[in-house]
Structure 1
Amino acid sequence: MKKIYWLLFISLFTVLFGSTTIASADEQTPDDQFRVGMETSYAPFNWTQTSDENDAVPKSGDSSSYAGGYDVQMAKKIAEGMDKELVVVPIEWDGLVPALKSGKIDGIVAGMSPTEERRKEIDFTDPYYESDLVTVTRKDSDYADAKSLDDLNGAKITAQLNTFHYSVIDQIPGVDKQQAQDDFSAMRVALSSGIIDGYVSERPEGITATNVNDDLTMIDFDEGEGFETAPEDIQVAVGMRQDDPDLSTVNDILSGISQDERTEIMDQAVEDQPSSSSDSDDEDESSGGLLATFGDIISQYGILFLKGAGLTLLIAVFSTIAGTMVGLLIGIFRTLPESENPLLHGLQKIANGLLRIYIEIFRGTPMMVQAMVIFYGVALLFSIDMNRTVAALLIVSVNTGAYMAEIVRGGIFAVDDGQFEAAQAIGMTHGQTMRKVILPQAIRNILPAIGNESVINIKDTAVLSVISVGDLFFQGSAAAGTNLLFFQTFTIVGAIYLVMTLSATGLLRLMEKKIDSPNSYTKIEETTTGHE
């Protein structure tokens, strides 16, 4: 039994503390790198592609994925001016500021406006782009011919979460303001499906949306008829840490880029973006419609989807095993008899209390929140730059361990009390009783729950996109944000998830049948004495 305790303890130590000593080379902070964060799914400012054409840059941590767009080209000029290597770190919008403040990136080049609210948290350079606000709607909408904000009276309008776009919606008289959306992918899906009548955006994004989808149109208001904005609201600048000494250097570099050159770079980005260059609508009409579109998406992004699926499986399998070990360790500890030594008895009470707090916290809070707190909190508090994959393994393992602790405890107490009493009657110690009698039965009882946790973990890795872990969901979001084919892209992603979960369920059932098989038990034949 001591060997089991030591094995479980070592496993728990590895899961909890191993991540603090491992960091990938691309997430370090060498002086010769300029690391910028962006969504890589906001065309034409930034997008994801699978080749380095049009001067695209490899995405950090993913050798088969590249970032292109206006932001990337401007970031390249800044890096060249600083005599540094450009490193593009893909990060979800809500994670950009935490990543910058925690030192995981050196700047935000993601079409971000230098609003007064954001200036309280970070500094901004001089603007590197300026654009007007527009509203994107459907061509068959009652509001497609709107010329002013008054014409949008009664329309269901939304915008991206945590942007000033959402606040200007209140300027529309009688507007039916909808819940803010996480990203443009979600807004375009809502618009196409009729859930909303339109969303507020910037001119380059509006041009992109209407070029790709013939069913959409962009409302470009005349002067004085559109949204009233402050100059900084329609400007785009590089976000940097407060009091960053490189801020003035970046400003000097930007001042050397003329307005004509900036316009030329944006025009080229609109032309180069994969969604417009693919001419998907024409291809659909000439080569099989919807099925051909699915084929195009798979051929273009299939490798990224497979890599994302592989990472999803790695996180799910490792975390299920590690979480089960954590649960076994805690479950066994909580069944130990109370020590008669007052000091050991007190320590045991304290340990049980701490374990209870751990269980309640990780079962009572969403994994997405845990990911944000652990990943960015560790960097802010302890200056530890954790590798994203290792952070994902840690987060899901600790979360799974909290659930498995209660599952294991329930499985142990589900074993009949007579088993404990019989083992004690023949002189077994507590360790021998747990190892030889109780745990084999408990593990059999909780096997379906372990399988259920593995299926949940396969699906729940999607929430790790908040810290930009390159799992299947993250890769699907990047692809959909680039090609704007949301239904088709996420149908493919959903099918891959279904294959993985069905495979995991099938393997679990085979394991249960193997354990339940008569061949897994030792038959003891009774010897006869000749009496019938």
Structure 2
Amino acid sequence: MNLDFSQIVPYIPFILEGIWATLKFVSVSIVVGLALGTLLALCKITKKRFLKWGADAYTSIFRGTPLILQLMIIYFAVPQLTGYDISEFLSAVLAFGLNSAAYVSEIIRAGIMAVDKGQTEAAEALGVPYKPMMINIILPQALKNILPALMNEFITLTKESALVSTIGYLDLMRRAQIVGADLYRNFEPLLFAGVIYWVMIFILTNIGSLVERRMRYSD
């Protein structure tokens, strides 16, 4: 086997910088996806048809088209229409955040619908307004039920973050590709990047399990 990991040693600091670059845009994307997804979920359960139709249409579009296509449209096609270039970071955040929101909205909607209807009826009987009722009563209960699904979505988002290498964003994957092209050896840097991705996902999985246990025992 023609393997020599010693050749990538000088490039290790360069590759490791990609961890921060990856986590930075993934973290912002998660916040965007969670905020927009919550809003979409509330629109889906409302009695106002135009809001429900709009949220359903949004989910259908972003779940029905490939993420890489959405990324390419934002980075390459939108500047063609607007005349303004969009940075790799902003393109990544928009594509991943908007895409994640579609999935998160379905997860949250299912969680809200799973909450006992008696909770809503009791709050309405006590005269609790809709907004405080959702924020203080319904959503906290729904969160306990959907936390595993949300963590799975965030883990998937982290793994799929490697797609941003296609637009030149210097994430972990892109840096491994650059090292491979410089050394004319791709297996070693790509394997090293794969190990780093595995470690990140392993840590996220354990954090999710810890949070889930604490929420379960807090009942």
TM-score, normalising length from structure 2? 0.93
**In the alignment, is the contact (CA less than 8 A) between 2:33 and 2:97 conserved in 1?**
yes
Could you tell me which residue of structure 2 aligns to residue 398 of structure 1? 98
Instruction: Say whether the 8 Å CA contact 1:312–1:471 is kept in structure 2.
Output: yes
CA shift at 1:411, angstroms? 0.7
Please state which structure has a larger fraction of its residues in helix: 2
SS at match of 1:384: coil
Contact 1:371 1:466 in 2 (8 A): no
1:412 aligns with 2:122: no
Whether 2:194 is the aligned partner of 1:483: answer no
Give the match for residue 503 of structure 1.
Answer: 203
* Count of paired positions: 219
Tell me, yes or no, if the aligned pair for 2:45 and 2:52 is still in contact at 8 Å. no
Cα distance, 1:331 vs structure 2: 1.2
1:295 paired to 2:6: yes
Q: How does 1:432-511 map to 2 (within 5 A)?
A: 432-511=132-211
Larger relative contact order, structure 1 or 2 (CA cutoff 8 Å, min sep 6): 2
- State yes or no: 1:351 paired with 2:51: yes
SS in structure 2 at match of 1:427: coil
Point out the structure with max Rg over C-alpha.
Answer: 1
Q: After superposition, where does 1:11-410 map in structure 2 within 5 Å?
A: 290=3, 293-297=4-8, 299-336=9-46, 338=47, 348-410=48-110
Instruction: Give me the whole-angstrom Cα distance separating, in 2, the residues matched to 1:322 and 1:313.
Output: 14
Distance in 2 of aligned mates of 1:507 and 1:400: 20
Name the CA distance, whole Å, in 1 between partners of 2:11 and 2:192. Answer: 10
1:508 CA drift (Å):
1.2
Conservation of the 8 A alpha-carbon contact between 1:316 and 1:457: yes
- Asked if the contact 2:18/2:170 (under 8 Å) is kept, the reply is yes
Equivalent residues of 1:465, 1:473 under 8 A apart: yes
1:385 partner SS: coil
Q: Which sections of structure 1, spanning at least 5 residues, go unmatched?
A: 1-191, 193-280, 282-289, 339-347, 522-532
**Cα RMSD after superposing both structures:** 1.8
Distance 1:351 1:437 in 2: 23
- Identity over aligned residues, as a percent? 34
Please give the alpha-carbon distance, in whole angstroms, between the structure 2 residues aligned to 1:444 and 1:316. 23
Deviations 1:137-193 (A, max 9, x none): xxxxxxxxxxxxxxxxxxxxxxxxxxxxxxxxxxxxxxxxxxxxxxxxxxxxxxx9x
Shift of 1:425: 2.5
Between the aligned partners of 1:351 and 1:417, the Cα distance in structure 2 is: 22
Q: Does the 8 Å contact 2:75/2:86 carry over to 1?
A: yes
Deviations 1:200-252 (A, max 9, x none): xxxxxxxxxxxxxxxxxxxxxxxxxxxxxxxxxxxxxxxxxxxxxxxxxxxxx
Aligned-residue offset at 1:494:
0.5
Structure number with higher strand proportion: 1
Distance in 2 between residues matched to 1:445 and 1:476, nearest whole Å: 38
Give the letter for the 1:295 counterpart. Answer: S
Alignment check: 8 A CA contact 2:43 2:51 kept: no
Q: CA deviation at 1:434?
A: 1.3
For the residues of structure 1 that align with 2:166 and 2:124, how far apart are their CA atoms?
51
CA distance in 1, matches of 2:126, 2:57: 37
* Alignment check: 8 A CA contact 1:324 1:450 kept: no
Task: Quote the offset at 1:385 in angstroms.
Answer: 1.0
Distance 2:28 2:205 in 1: 16
Aligned twin of 1:184 = none
1:426 to 96, 111, 126: 126
Shift of 1:349: 2.4
Measured after TM superposition, the shift of residue 495 of structure 1 is 0.3
Q: Which runs of 4+ in 1 moved over 6 A?
A: none
**How far has the Cα of 1:431 moved from its partner?**
2.2
**Do the aligned partners of 1:388 and 1:467 also contact (CA within 8 Å) in 2?**
yes
Separation (CA, whole Å) in 1 of partners of 2:43 and 2:50 = 12
